[in-house]
């Protein structure tokens, strides 16, 4: 009931009415600078690296990862990935040769895209910095000057590698090695774009940094790579958003995100993903948190054809705290296989996983989570809650909670619930004058409220708005 | 001239079982009616059917409210027309605050009258809600609580009355609003309803107990048995039921007594 709510609500209201008009548009590609051929080979990997003028160690790292990718089989669990044809994907598309720090310098076709998505406006209003990735590379990047002066680095990953090779070399691929899984290997081989963030000791970034990822080309593969280093006692809230046009055939988004939170630091990573219904979204995200550090993943998965994503936190030293707050919305034809992973390596570490999934029509939402307590990790406290809401009789929800505990003196809570939007609930709300769809939206909004209220108001409104779009109609 | 709710020969069944077998009842805005009757006589069915619950099938009859055919309308349309049902068992909606819910309900009404309406402003709504809560002696913290979640029996019923006060319907049906309440909670709820009584509000209070009627002082009492209103009268009818029970009425109207 805050005054702010209405004015912001109004500001956001005009933005969209449904996915097709708001996100589903696509630009002509006549202005593109480089558009790679379809298919993947060692040559393509070397070509991407050469285009970027990378140091040799990175080229070789990519090539090794490419061979790892070839040697790994597809995951035999989770969602159906049989529709992915690695030969029918463009692995690198460069829309513009230069990255800009002023929107006026960004090619107008691309700027229009981000205007439509409301990014420059949001930057003015409530962000500390913005990165905008279009296809394979960042086309815009800017961080507030005062933060830059304090030594905050917020660059695209390519510039990060160019300008801070020592930092990148120290951490790149150490949290998620290419051998972790087939898609981590693929990303390491052909990565492009993504964010590189370094927050110096004690620096507290008040407003979020946001990156926005946009796929425009059909059959495009987007492989951004993000590395965030939060030094001792520092804080950052990083937010990413993603959309793509509605195409007839599929695109692949396969990112890798590695985060290091040092002693007493805190990192919050919020994803509001809103892919069109023809994107395979297969992302590996992992953070390590050291002494008294806090890592929080807030992961909202809307849209896509298939999402497989389980943000992880490894609690490496005493006092570390990890959280995964996951929201998944599976509409018609969609499978959201999402959840989280917390590994208690050190004693006296704490964690919580809250997962809320909503399935509509024949959509399927699965919660898949791992909570692991290593031997010697005494005094661990953790709580896992997963709630599912089914909107239609044919909607589906599954829960795969894995809990592995190798220590005795731990406190672990686990609750799971599945509920349906009941006739009685709808009738009650409708008897007060709400239409059936308003009543449905209200029940869903109430369901996600415990997570939505953790977000800054702008993002929580955006999330609610996106869910409303999903509730209103079929997407893609 | 106030609005009239007119029920004519209403037959309603649930899953093929006939429950209401020809109910006739007219309630004018400004009047207070009480509907009494034993368990299973169809009182709550009448309440749900009037509000348009999808599980209740209307087999015959008419319901006219302010000249409109109510039975053609969905529950939300009936609500926006000015009908209200205070539920016997209000449903919990986790994560939705009482205030947020009421504001949405008010906005839905405004929008149905004027599609261009931008909704009630937050300060205006806050003022309205505070005023209604004060009228009913409800703690302001109530507004921020999630709708019926973890509410005590008394809180649920007071919440129904708060909704009644805020939405200002023309005819309200109170379905056993006294059930499950202790004597103090009952008095608080009844006091609330009394404060809302007036020329603009018609009330149909459904109850087993005379205690609620002592507070509300309805002008008209109706006795329902086996899906029909078998007798109507003034307050003296409630006295009779109180002293003699339902048995003499069963015999008088030839209704078979079924054990529950």
Q: What is the pLDDT of residues A118-161, one digit of tens each?
A: 888 888 777 888 888 887 787 888 888 889 999 999 999 999 99
Residue B67 shares a structural domain with residue B195: yes
Binned at pLDDT 50, 70 and 90, residue B260 comes out as very low
Whether B258 is covered by a domain: the verdict is no
Cβ contacts of B101 on chain A, cutoff 8 Å: 429, 432, 442
Whether B260 is covered by a domain: the verdict is no
CB contact under 8 A, A423 and B54: yes
The whole-number pLDDT of residue A9 equals 44
Whether B124 is covered by a domain: the verdict is yes
- Percent of chain B whose pLDDT exceeds 70: 98
Q: Is the confidence at residue A23, as pLDDT, over 70?
A: no
Whether A298 is covered by a domain: the verdict is yes
Which DSSP state fits A249? Answer: S
Say whether residue A14 is in contact with chain B using an 8 A CB cutoff: no
pLDDT, averaged across chain B: 93
Would you call B14 exposed, middle or buried from its count of C-beta atoms within 10 A (0-12, 13-18, 19+)? middle
Q: What are phi and psi of B17, to 5 degrees?
A: -95, 120
Which DSSP state fits A205? Answer: -
What is the C-alpha to C-alpha distance for residues B192 and B216, in angstroms, rounded to an integer? 10
What is the C-alpha to C-alpha distance for residues B75 and B83, in angstroms, rounded to an integer? 9
CB contact under 8 A, A428 and B91: yes
CB atoms within 10 A of CB A118: 19
Whether B162 is covered by a domain: the verdict is no
Mean pLDDT, rounded, for A391-400 = 90
CA distance, residue B239 to nearest chain A CA (Å): 33
Would you call A7 exposed, middle or buried from its count of C-beta atoms within 10 A (0-12, 13-18, 19+)? exposed
Say whether residue A453 is in contact with chain B using an 8 A CB cutoff: no
Whether B259 is covered by a domain: the verdict is no
CA distance, residue A65 to nearest chain B CA (Å): 46
Ramachandran assignment for A433, one of left (phi > 0), alpha (psi -120 to 50 degrees), beta (any other): left
CB contact under 8 A, A431 and B78: yes
Residue B140 shares a structural domain with residue B177: no
End position of a domain, from candidates B150, B176, B191: B150
- Percent of chain B whose pLDDT exceeds 90: 80
Provide the CB-side half-sphere exposure for A78 (13 A, CA): 19
Whether B189 is covered by a domain: the verdict is yes
* Candidates B80, B93, B119; nearest CB to A429: B93
CB contact under 8 A, A425 and B91: yes
Q: Which domain holds residue A225?
A: 29-309+421-428
Tokens 């030094």 belong to residue: A231
Task: Give A80-96 pLDDT, tens digit per residue.
Answer: 999 899 999 989 888 77
Residue B102 shares a structural domain with residue B210: no
What is the C-alpha to C-alpha distance for residues B75 and A430, in angstroms, rounded to an integer? 6
The whole-number pLDDT of residue A469 equals 79
Residue B182 shares a structural domain with residue B105: no
Q: Is A356 within 8 Å of A327 (Cβ atoms)?
A: yes
What is the C-alpha to C-alpha distance for residues A59 and A50, in angstroms, rounded to an integer? 8
Whether A18 is covered by a domain: the verdict is no
Whether A215 is covered by a domain: the verdict is yes
Residue B8 shares a structural domain with residue B86: yes
Binned at pLDDT 50, 70 and 90, residue A30 comes out as low
CB pairs under 8 A between A and B: 96
Mention every residue, 6+ apart, whose C-beta is less than 8 A from residue B248. Answer: none
Residue B140 shares a structural domain with residue B180: no
Choosing among B73, B96, B141, B145, which should be mutated to test the A contact, i.e. which has the most A CBs within 10 A? B96
Question: What is the predicted ipTM?
Answer: 0.95
Q: Which domain holds residue B134?
A: 93-150
Binned at pLDDT 50, 70 and 90, residue B254 comes out as confident
CB atoms within 10 A of CB A267: 26
The whole-number pLDDT of residue B32 equals 97
Binned at pLDDT 50, 70 and 90, residue A10 comes out as very low
- Percent of chain A whose pLDDT exceeds 70: 92
B255 token code pair: 């209704």
Mention every residue, 6+ apart, whose C-beta is less than 8 A from residue A457. Answer: A2, A4, A5, A8
Binned at pLDDT 50, 70 and 90, residue A104 comes out as confident
Residue B77 shares a structural domain with residue B62: yes
Mean pLDDT, rounded, for A259-275 = 94
Name the strand (E) or helix (H) holding B28.
Answer: strand B17-28
- Residue A453: closest C-alpha in chain B: B95
Residue B83 shares a structural domain with residue B182: yes
CA distance, residue A8 to nearest chain B CA (Å): 13
Q: Is the confidence at residue A196, as pLDDT, over 80?
A: yes
Whether B45 is covered by a domain: the verdict is yes
The whole-number pLDDT of residue B92 equals 93
Q: What is the CATH number of the domain that holds B181?
A: 3.40.50.300
Number of separate domains in chain A: 1
Which residues does residue A153 pair with via DSSP β-bridges, in sequence order? A198
End position of a domain, from candidates B121, B150, B179: B150
Helices (H), A84-233: 108-116, 119-126, 145-149, 157-163, 165-171, 182-190
What is the C-alpha to C-alpha distance for residues B99 and A375, in angstroms, rounded to an integer? 49
Residue B191 shares a structural domain with residue B246: yes
* Candidates B74, B75, B143; nearest CB to A1: B143
CB contact under 8 A, A1 and B84: no
CB atoms within 10 A of CB B195: 14
Taking alpha carbons only, the member of A360, A318, A300, A364 closest to residue A337 is: A364
Mention every residue, 6+ apart, whose C-beta is less than 8 A from residue A141. Answer: A99, A100, A101, A129, A130, A131, A132, A154, A155, A156, A159
Q: Is the confidence at residue B45, as pLDDT, over 50?
A: yes
Cβ contacts of A468 on chain B, cutoff 8 Å: none
Residue B58 shares a structural domain with residue B45: yes
CA distance, residue A397 to nearest chain B CA (Å): 20
Provide the CB-side half-sphere exposure for A248 (13 A, CA): 0
What is the C-alpha to C-alpha distance for residues A286 and A172, in angstroms, rounded to an integer? 12
Task: Give A445-474 pLDDT, tens digit per residue.
Answer: 999 998 888 888 888 888 888 888 778 754
What is the C-alpha to C-alpha distance for residues A304 and B81, in angstroms, rounded to an integer? 41
Residue B125 shares a structural domain with residue B214: no
Most confident of A91-95, A244-248, B108-112, B170-174: B170-174
Number of separate domains in chain B: 2
What is the C-alpha to C-alpha distance for residues B175 and B195, in angstroms, rounded to an integer? 18
Whether B221 is covered by a domain: the verdict is yes
CA dihedral sign, ordered B73, B74, B80, B84: positive
Residue B35 shares a structural domain with residue B77: yes
Binned at pLDDT 50, 70 and 90, residue A4 comes out as very low
């Amino acid at each position: 009931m805050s005054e702010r709510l209405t004015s912001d609500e109004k500001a956001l209201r005009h933005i969209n009415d449904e996915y097709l008009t708001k996100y589903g548009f696509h630009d002509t590609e006549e202005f593109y600078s480089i558009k790679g051929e379809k298919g993947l080979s060692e040559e393509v990997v070397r070509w991407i690296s050469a285009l970027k003028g990378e140091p040799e160690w990175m080229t070789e790292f990519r090539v090794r990862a490419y061979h790892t990718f070839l040697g790994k089989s597809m995951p035999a669990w989770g969602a159906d990935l049989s529709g992915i044809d690695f030969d029918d994907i463009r692995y690198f598309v460069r829309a513009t040769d230069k990255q800009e720090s002023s929107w006026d310098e960004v090619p107008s076709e691309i700027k229009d895209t981000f205007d439509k998505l409301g990014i420059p406006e949001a930057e003015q209003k409530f962000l500390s910095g913005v990165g905008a990735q279009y296809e394979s590379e960042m086309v815009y990047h800017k961080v507030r000057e005062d933060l830059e002066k304090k030594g905050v680095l917020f660059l695209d990953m390519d510039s990060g590698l160019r300008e801070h090779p020592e930092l990148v070399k120290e951490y790149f691929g150490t949290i998620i090695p290419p051998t972790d899984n087939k898609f981590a290997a693929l990303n390491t081989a052909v990565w492009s774009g993504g964010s590189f963030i370094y927050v110096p000791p004690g620096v507290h970034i008040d407003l979020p940094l946001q990156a926005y990822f946009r796929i425009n080309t059909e059959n495009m593969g987007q492989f951004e790579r993000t590395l965030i280093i939060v030094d001792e006692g520092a804080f950052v809230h990083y937010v990413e958003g993603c959309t793509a046009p509605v195409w007839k055939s599929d695109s692949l988004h396969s990112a890798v995100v590695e985060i290091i939170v040092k002693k007493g630091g805190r990192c919050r990573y919020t994803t509001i993903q809103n892919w069109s219904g023809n994107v395979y979204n297969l992302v590996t995200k992992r953070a390590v948190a050291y002494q008294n550090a806090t890592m929080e993943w807030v992961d909202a998965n809307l849209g896509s054809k298939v999402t497989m994503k389980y943000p992880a936190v490894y609690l490496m030293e005493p006092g570390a705290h990890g959280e995964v707050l996951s929201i998944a919305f599976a509409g018609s034809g969609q499978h959201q296989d999402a959840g989280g992973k917390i590994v208690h390596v050190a004693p006296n570490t704490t964690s919580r996983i809250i997962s809320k999934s909503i399935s509509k029509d024949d959509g399927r939402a699965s919660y898949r989570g791992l909570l692991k307590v290593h031997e010697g990790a005494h005094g661990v406290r953790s709580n896992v809650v997963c709630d599912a809401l089914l909107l239609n009789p044919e909607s589906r929800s599954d829960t795969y909670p894995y809990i592995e505990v190798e220590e005795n003196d731990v406190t672990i809570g686990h609750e799971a619930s599945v509920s349906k939007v009941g006739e009685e609930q709808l009738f009650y709300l409708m008897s007060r004058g709400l239409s059936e769809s308003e009543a449905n939206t209200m029940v869903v909004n109430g369901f996600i409220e415990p997570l939505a209220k953790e977000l800054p108001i702008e993002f929580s409104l955006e999330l609610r708005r996106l869910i409303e779009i999903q509730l209103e109609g079929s997407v893609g | 001239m106030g609005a009239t709710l007119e029920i004519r020969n209403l037959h309603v069944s649930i899953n093929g079982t006939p429950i209401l077998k020809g109910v006739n009842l007219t309630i004018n805005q400004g009047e207070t009616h009480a509907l009494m009757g034993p368990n299973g006589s169809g009182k709550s069915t009448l309440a749900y059917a009037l509000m348009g619950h999808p599980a209740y099938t209307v087999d015959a009859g008419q319901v006219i409210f302010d000249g409109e055919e109510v039975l053609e309308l969905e529950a939300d349309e009936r609500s926006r027309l000015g009908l209200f049902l205070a539920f016997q068992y209000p449903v919990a909606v986790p994560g939705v605050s009482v205030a947020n819910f009421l504001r949405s309900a008010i906005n839905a009404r405004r929008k149905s009258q004027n599609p261009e309406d931008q909704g009630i402003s937050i300060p205006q709504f806050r003022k309205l809600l505070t005023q209604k809560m004060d009228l009913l002696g409800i703690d302001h913290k109530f507004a921020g609580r999630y709708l019926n979640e973890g509410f005590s029996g008394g809180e649920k019923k007071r919440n129904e009355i708060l909704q009644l006060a805020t939405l200002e319907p023309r005819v309200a049906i109170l379905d056993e609003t006294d059930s499950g309440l202790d004597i103090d909670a009952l008095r608080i709820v009844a006091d609330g309803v009394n404060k809302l009584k007036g020329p603009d509000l018609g009330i149909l209070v459904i109850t087993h107990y005379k205690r609620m009627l002592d507070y509300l002082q309805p002008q008209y009492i109706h006795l329902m048995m086996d899906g029909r209103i078998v007798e109507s009268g003034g307050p003296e009818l409630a006295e009779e039921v109180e002293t003699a029970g339902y048995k003499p009425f069963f015999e008088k109207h030839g209704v078979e007594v079924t054990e529950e």
